[in-house]
Amino acid sequence: MTEETILLLLSGLLLFMVGVYLMFAYRNLLRVILGVEVMAKGVTLVLLAAGVFRGSVEYIQSLIVTFIIVETILAAVVLAITFVAQRIYNSLDIRNLSKLKG
């Protein structure tokens, strides 16, 4: 493993851990969404580190681009749900989401 690979791997793991902390430490829906996004960026860095380590960066790049597209779509849907929850309950507390059942 090169220093670059180790740095990418450690940075990705650190971002993932920060994302987990943001998800579970707060009850604000925007912070939970931010935690999921930070976790996804950490996973992206770990995937890149795996590609650099194996020497197949081209294949990993296409996987990362696909991952970013899916992540963007997911963020748009979750932010729309957040917007609806804010309008209905005038709060971004995640405990209110259980009341959105159909």
pLDDT at 9: 92
**Which distant-in-sequence residues (6+ apart) come within 8 Å of 4 by Cβ?**
52
Exposure string for 31-53, b = 16+ CB within 10 A, e = fewer: bbbbbbbbbbbbbbbbbbbbbbb
pLDDT in tens, the chain (102 residues): 789 889 989 999 999 999 999 999 988 889 999 999 999 999 999 999 988 888 888 888 899 999 999 999 999 999 998 898 889 888 888 887 777 666
> Are residues 40 and 67 in contact, defined by beta-carbon separation less than 8 angstroms?
yes
pLDDT at 102: 63
Can you name the CATH fold of 3-100?
Helix Hairpins (1.10.287)
Pull the structure tokens for residue 90.
């005038």
Residue type at 4 in one-letter notation:
E
| Terminal-residue alpha carbon distance, the chain | 51
Residue ranges per domain, the chain?
A: 3-100
